Amino acid sequence: MSGHSKWHSIKHKKGAADAKRGKIFTKHAKLITIAARSGGEPEMNPALRAAIANAKADNVPNANIDKAVKKGSGQDKDGVVYAEALYEGVGPEGTAVLVEVITDNKNRSVANVKTIFTKNGGTMGGAGSVSWMFDKKGMVTVKADQKPADEAELMIIDAGAEDVSYENGAFEITTDPSDLMMVRDNLEKTGFEIENASITYLAKNPVDIDSMEKAQKVLKLLEALEDDDDVSNVYSNFDISEEIMSQL
Q: What residue segments make up the domains of the chain, in order of their start?
A: 4-72, 83-132+206-245, 133-203
Q: Which fold has domain 83-132+206-245?
A: Alpha-Beta Plaits (3.30.70)
- Residue 248 confidence (pLDDT): 67
Q: Do domains 4-72 and 133-203 have the same CATH topology?
A: no
Residues of the chain with pLDDT under 70: 1-20, 76, 78-79, 248
Q: Within 10 Å of residue 178's Cβ, how many Cβ atoms?
A: 8
- Residue 13 confidence (pLDDT): 54
Q: Which fold has domain 4-72?
A: Arc Repressor Mutant, subunit A (1.10.10)
Q: What is the pLDDT of residues 98-139, one digit of tens each?
A: 999 999 999 999 999 999 999 999 999 999 999 999 999 999
Please determine, looking at this structure, whether the domain spanning 133-203 carries the CATH number 3.30.70.980: yes
- Residue 47 confidence (pLDDT): 87
What is the Cα–Cα distance from 147 to 158, expressed in whole angstroms? 15
- Residue 241 confidence (pLDDT): 78
What is the Cα–Cα distance from 46 to 232, expressed in whole angstroms? 20
- Residue 9 confidence (pLDDT): 60
What is the Cα–Cα distance from 105 to 89, expressed in whole angstroms? 20
Asked if 72 and 33 touch (Cβ cutoff 8 Å), the reply is yes
Q: Within 10 Å of residue 189's Cβ, how many Cβ atoms?
A: 9
- Residue 1 confidence (pLDDT): 37
